[in-house]
Amino acid sequence: MNRVKIAVGVVALLAAVAIFWMNSGGADPIPDTPETSTHWMCHACKQVFTLTAAEAAREEARAGGPSPLYCPACSVKEAYRVAQCDTCGSYYFSSDVPGSLGRCEVCFPDKPRERPKDESPPSL
């Protein structure tokens, strides 16, 4: 009789420990759904790929920081998050990526020099 009580007590204790461990260990679980996915592009080979929030977190842990991440195509640590152009649909790096213009290079190609306001063609 006593032995049964102790066994029940141990099981209850183990269950409580397991629940506590699961709650503390898996504190806000990162979603692994398509809605959370973000676009990334490799600076080296221009491979575009998507990562869900959970995959991005895993890759960040592997890369030791938020960006750049390792490219799944060429394995070089040169993958940065990209934005998609509303006009042509191509992907481009944001301006915080080294060497990036922060805009679509198809619709807004790099100009040899800045023309601040005067967008009109030079008069002949």
Chain residues in the site for Zn ion (CB under 5 A): 42, 44-45, 47, 71, 73-74, 85, 87-88, 104, 106-107
Residue-wise DSSP of 9-75 = HHHHHHHHHHHHHHHHHTSSPPP-SGGG-EEEEETTT--EEEE-HHHHHHHHHHHTSSSSB--TTT-
Q: For the CB of residue 81, give the shortest distance to Zn ion in the complex, in Å.
A: 14
Is-cis flag, bond preceding 68, omega within 30? Answer: yes
Q: For the CB of residue 114, give the shortest distance to Zn ion in the complex, in Å.
A: 20
CB nearer to Zn ion: give 31 or 98: 98
CB nearer to Zn ion: give 38 or 47: 47
Q: For the CB of residue 84, give the shortest distance to Zn ion in the complex, in Å.
A: 9
Pick from 57, 7, 66, 63: which is nearest to 28 by CA?
A: 57
CB nearer to Zn ion: give 6 or 107: 107
